[in-house]
Amino acid sequence: MNYAFLITGDKMAAYTTSSASKKPTNVSINAELLAKAKSLDINLSATLESALKEQIRLKEQAQWLKENSKAMDAYNQFVERNGTFSDSVRKF
């Protein structure tokens, strides 16, 4: 069994506050896709922000896993050799 510990802090709070300022920007979008989104009343800004938050979360998670892979590997090897600290007291 492999054990991985992921960050669950409030790191995304900086990106999700409703009081954060908005900055206009230009993006290039497939014209047909843009027309379809407009016809369906899709809020482009909200959709882009949501997609960016998810991409940031995934990239930061991958970065954290890469940065901490040696420690996780060492812990997994320790558990394979010695078991977990609670092995002697658990009933399952």
Distance CA 75, CA 26 (A): 46
Q: What is the model's pLDDT at position 66?
A: 95
Q: Can you tell me the distance from the alpha carbon of 1 to that of 76, in angstroms, rounded to the nearest whole number?
A: 8
Give pLDDT, residue 86: 80
* CA 5 to each of CA 2, 17, 49, 56, 81: distance values in angstroms, whole numbers, following the listed order: 10, 26, 27, 19, 19
Q: How confident is the model at residue 6 (pLDDT cuts 50, 70, 90)?
A: very low
Average the pLDDT over 22-40 and give the result: 96
Q: Give CA–CA dist 23/21, Å, rounded.
A: 7
Given pLDDT bands bounded at 50, 70 and 90, which one contains residue 5?
Answer: very low
Percent of the chain with pLDDT over 90: 64
